[in-house]
Chains A and B, each alone.
Chain A
């Protein structure tokens, strides 16, 4: 209970800096540092349907526990990942950061992450590979938990506005 109170008292600026740092680590592909922001029981979810209820009954663009996140990192950093032979580059802009007034209610897909605070934000991601750029955008929820005095991400959900559109492959984390 104490950590919950501490987190609720956190200055929004501190939370913003935390999300900006996550974006920076993604942009700079500092994967291990990025992964270290997540709890051991974390879940990373990008639904394939608007308003998707859960990652179990419906397919997801990403529905990854820590094992799957670690596997993705091994793959994209492997020298023979041919689809990264001309690496993807990304630039994240994070904005509209606010405490989720609903506390993430009904949005956690039944994962029920242990969290002290749920934060909403908007992200625009510019992605470049080979000769072209494309743009992703959507709403993000972070379920945050304090562990050993540090903020950690217990769950991240990204609702892309084009989640159900035909798309070419997406390889990195969003």
Chain B
């Protein structure tokens, strides 16, 4: 394994191309876990997953298990899932509700804020160097935890930019998702899809704002939508949602070219919408009425006029605000990634409206989606193809040099590879920063 000093890391990234090593070298993957996933703000969950005191969910940051819990003080904590005694993983379930956490090994118990609650035969520690109140013998809290409108982020690093600085103006995509709720609040419901693919996590991240792939990769599902519609629908009849969510990927290049891409200084980005969430069916009309009652006509117009497809928060989460979807990217190995997909209910919206959200989840984000397998085929083939020594470089040249920087954002035409170039600027900045 090659040792990577800062100069070696810088040599991997050029403004418009990157070395294949960043996708295939396990040594670089280890460095990413340390310097990106070990330092950045990482989305760990949504406050609605832990509504009541004692509620918890577990996840990982890189390989490290963490627990997000709601304590009796009403606050949300993010804890290392590690016993303060001998290190066993304390919480085994994915989620649940407890009065306290109890280690399965020697029965140490912890409050849901991570503090050590009890040790069997505690007198054995009398007169030793052990201090019950020392947080290092509790389930340690992650150094930094902050949330924005219900979205909980944590960082394994004690120092770094605040969540506010990290999100910057990209927070407007979270606003877009939350503002769509007549009650101004989201709720994770409906379970979770966990989908694994055999490619580096960055390949997925690149794809999220890649608008030159849908008409090629998704040809089979575009055709499924088109052919089904042709055989079953009257001319001019509105598309049922599954048709809309498949055939729109087949829009001509001119459509995608006209979308706007916005790349943020922190590595985030978003693209303009492709499945306009605004509709005229009765369910949507009921929803509109609930919105107007909550916000008034003008503000409702303003909220619903926003149409963004995927927004990426670098490095581990992407949302589709118009359809209330969230995809959490969990790197498992240099060539293996897990994606956890959540759907949100807009509080205050009619029940029927949420059914449409789940149709989107099922058609687009399920492991059995008729859309996604072709994406995964492409990611997996990139991973395999890059093993070739043909050339060390991967091209990100499309529309390079034509980016339009403006304060926090840089914008480009819809088919530019700006989002990927921007991701690698952020990558370089994390990977070469002094610890």
| Interfacial residues, chain A to chain B (CB-CB below 8 A) | 46, 48-49, 56-63, 67-68, 70-72, 74-76, 78, 80-85, 164-171
- For residue B26, CB closer than 8 A to chain A, the reply is no
Rounded to whole angstroms, the CA-CA distance of A60 and B190 in the bound complex is 9
Q: Which residues of B contact A49 (CB under 8 A)?
A: 191
B368 touching A46 by the CB < 8 A rule?
Answer: yes
Rounded to whole angstroms, the CA-CA distance of A85 and B373 in the bound complex is 11
Task: Name the distance in Å between A97's Cβ and chain B's nearest Cβ.
Answer: 25
Q: Which residues of A contact B377 (CB under 8 A)?
A: 82-83, 85
A70 touching B228 by the CB < 8 A rule?
Answer: yes
Q: Which residues of A contact B373 (CB under 8 A)?
A: 83, 169, 171
A72 touching B193 by the CB < 8 A rule?
Answer: no
Chain B positions 221-259 with a Cβ under 8 Å from a chain A Cβ: 221, 223-225, 227-228, 232, 240, 242-243, 246
Chain B positions 99-120 with a Cβ under 8 Å from a chain A Cβ: none
Rounded to whole angstroms, the CA-CA distance of A49 and B377 in the bound complex is 26
- The interface on chain B, measured as residues whose beta carbon lies within 8 A of the other chain's beta carbons, has a size of 45
Within 8 Å by CB of B228, from A74, A165, A171, lies A74
A71 touching B194 by the CB < 8 A rule?
Answer: no
Q: Which residues of B contact A72 (CB under 8 A)?
A: 224, 370
With contacts A48-B191, A169-B372 taken as known, whether A59 is within 8 angstroms of B246 at the C-beta atoms is no
B228 touching A58 by the CB < 8 A rule?
Answer: no
Q: Which residues of B contact A63 (CB under 8 A)?
A: 362
- Classify the secondary structure of B's interface with A: helix
With contacts A75-B224, A78-B224, A83-B373 taken as known, whether A56 is within 8 angstroms of B358 at the C-beta atoms is yes
Rounded to whole angstroms, the CA-CA distance of A63 and B341 in the bound complex is 16
A58 touching B195 by the CB < 8 A rule?
Answer: no
B366 touching A78 by the CB < 8 A rule?
Answer: no
Enumerate 17 A-B pairs (CB-CB under 8 Å) in ascending A order.
Answer: A56-B355, A57-B190, A57-B354, A59-B193, A60-B362, A61-B367, A63-B362, A68-B242, A71-B243, A74-B227, A75-B370, A80-B219, A83-B377, A164-B194, A168-B195, A170-B367, A171-B368
B232 touching A67 by the CB < 8 A rule?
Answer: yes
Q: Which residues of A contact B240 (CB under 8 A)?
A: 67
Residue of A nearest to B227 (CB): A74
B366 touching A71 by the CB < 8 A rule?
Answer: no
Assuming A59-B366, A71-B225, A85-B377, what are 7 further A-B pairs, CB within 8 angstroms? A59-B192, A71-B246, A80-B220, A166-B194, A166-B195, A168-B198, A170-B368
- For residue B197, CB closer than 8 A to chain A, the reply is yes
Within 8 Å by CB of B367, from A76, A85, A167, lies A167
Task: Name the distance in Å between A67's Cβ and chain B's nearest Cβ.
Answer: 7
Q: Which residues of B contact A80 (CB under 8 A)?
A: 219-220, 223
Task: Name the distance in Å between A85's Cβ and chain B's nearest Cβ.
Answer: 7
With contacts A59-B361, A83-B374 taken as known, whether A167 is within 8 angstroms of B219 at the C-beta atoms is no
Report which residue of A62, A72, A75, A83 has the largest number of chain B beta carbons within 10 angstroms of its beta carbon.
A75
Task: Name the distance in Å between B187's Cβ and chain A's nearest Cβ.
Answer: 12
- For residue B343, CB closer than 8 A to chain A, the reply is yes
Chain B positions 356-386 with a Cβ under 8 Å from a chain A Cβ: 358, 361-363, 365-370, 372-374, 376-378
B189 touching A57 by the CB < 8 A rule?
Answer: yes
Interface string of B326-368 (1 = CB under 8 A from A): 0000000000001001010000000000110010011101111
Within 8 Å by CB of A59, from B224, B242, B358, B372, lies B358
B228 touching A59 by the CB < 8 A rule?
Answer: no
Chain B positions 379-418 with a Cβ under 8 Å from a chain A Cβ: none
B194 touching A168 by the CB < 8 A rule?
Answer: no
Residue of B nearest to A65 (CB): B242
Task: Name the distance in Å between A79's Cβ and chain B's nearest Cβ.
Answer: 8
Report which residue of A83, A85, A165 has the largest number of chain B beta carbons within 10 angstroms of its beta carbon.
A83
Rounded to whole angstroms, the CA-CA distance of A141 and B416 in the bound complex is 49
A81 touching B192 by the CB < 8 A rule?
Answer: no
A78 touching B191 by the CB < 8 A rule?
Answer: no
Q: Which residues of A contact B366 (CB under 8 A)?
A: 48, 59-62
A81 touching B368 by the CB < 8 A rule?
Answer: no
Q: Which residues of A contact B372 (CB under 8 A)?
A: 169
Residue of A nearest to B339 (CB): A166
Rounded to whole angstroms, the CA-CA distance of A64 and B225 in the bound complex is 14
- For residue B294, CB closer than 8 A to chain A, the reply is no
Rounded to whole angstroms, the CA-CA distance of A70 and B232 in the bound complex is 11
Residue of B nearest to A167 (CB): B367
- For residue B217, CB closer than 8 A to chain A, the reply is yes
